[in-house]
Amino acid sequence: MPDSRDTILARIRAGLGRGPLPAAAGAALDARPAHTRIAFDDDLTERFITKLCSRAGSVNRLASLSEVPAAVDAYGEAHGLPPRAAVARPLAGLPWPAGLARHEGPAGKDEILSVTACLAGIAETGSILLASGPDSPTTLNFVPDHHLVVLLASQLVPDFEAAWAHLRALPGGMPRTVNIVSGPSRTGDVGLTLQLGAHGPRSLHVLLVGGDT
């Protein structure tokens, strides 16, 4: 029996009425196209906040990273959460209060709150760009009810294309999992009514550090 790969490729070429492409054609075909990007002249920070909030995300602006633990604490208190959190390793060095039970591993089934870093914030759509790796378990982005993301103002980029440049610059190339997250989880599947908190986090809260206010 012929290999299905060969069969499918042969069918494609028969349909297109040609044989295999010459090897020399490859480079031109793989070149990155310059498609139209969305034009906007808003301030990146302002646009990011407006877009994210329009998608039911929330933002708290902080002057410095050292304010993150207190902001997390205040968030937990405001939502009546128990004092425990999954805090991604890059943030472990912050001055966390002794009363907060922390772990750095992947999320367990009953994880309530996670605090993670991210690669970038995308102003075009108000989205967070997250990449998996030894220090950033993907489960932290999806299992807990509350996902808190620490974003530095310097990490804001205008659009997807700028975010791709970030991914390409990573030493290991494309990470195993890349998540672009735009607000909390939602569904329209029951009675076509929008409901937040389907399977992923019920709330997405960004701690935006630095930048002009």
Partner 1 sequence: MQVNSPNFKAKAEAALTDPQLREALGKTRIMFVNKRAELAAALPEFEHLRDEARDRKNHILAHLDHYLERFDEAVTRAGGKVHWCADAAEARRVILDICRRVEAKSITKGKSMVSEEIGLNEALEAEGYRVLETDLGEYIIQLAHEPPSHIIAPAAHKTQEQVADLFHAAHGGPRKTTVAELVTEARLVLRDEYFRADVGITGGNFLVAETGSTVIVTNEGNGDLTQTLARVHIVTSGIERIVPTLEDVSLFLRILARSATGQETETYTTFSTGPRRPGDPDGPEEFHVVLVDNGRSGMLGGPFQDMLRCIRCGACMNHCPVYGAVGGHAYGWVYPGPMGAVLTPLFVGLDATRDLPNACTLNGRCQSVCPVRIPLPELLRELRHQQHQQGLRPPAERRALATWRFVAERPRLYQFANRVAARALKGLGGDAGRLRSLPFAEGWTAFRDLPAPEGLTFLELWQARHPGKR
Site for partner 1 in 47-86 (CB under 8 A): 51, 55
Shorter beta-carbon distance to partner 1: residue 3 or 212: 3
Q: Does 91 bind partner 1 (CB under 8 A)?
A: no
Q: Which range binds partner 1 by CB under 8 A, 67-75, 91-99, 148-156, 177-185?
A: 177-185
Shorter beta-carbon distance to partner 1: residue 14 or 74: 14
Q: Is 94 exposed, middle or buried (0-12, 13-18, 19+ CB in 10 A)?
A: middle
Q: List the Cα angle 86/70/132 in 5-degree steps.
A: 30
Out of 76, 137, 144, 211, the residue judged to bind partner 1 by CB under 8 A: 137
Shorter beta-carbon distance to partner 1: residue 58 or 139: 139
- 8 Å CB contact between 151 and 207: yes
Q: Does 103 bind partner 1 (CB under 8 A)?
A: no
- Subset of 148-167 contacting partner 1 (CB under 8 A): 159-161, 164, 167
- The 58-62 sheet, strands edge to edge: 58-62, 203-209, 146-152, 113-116, 84-87, 101-103
Q: Which 8-state DSSP code applies to residue 128?
A: E
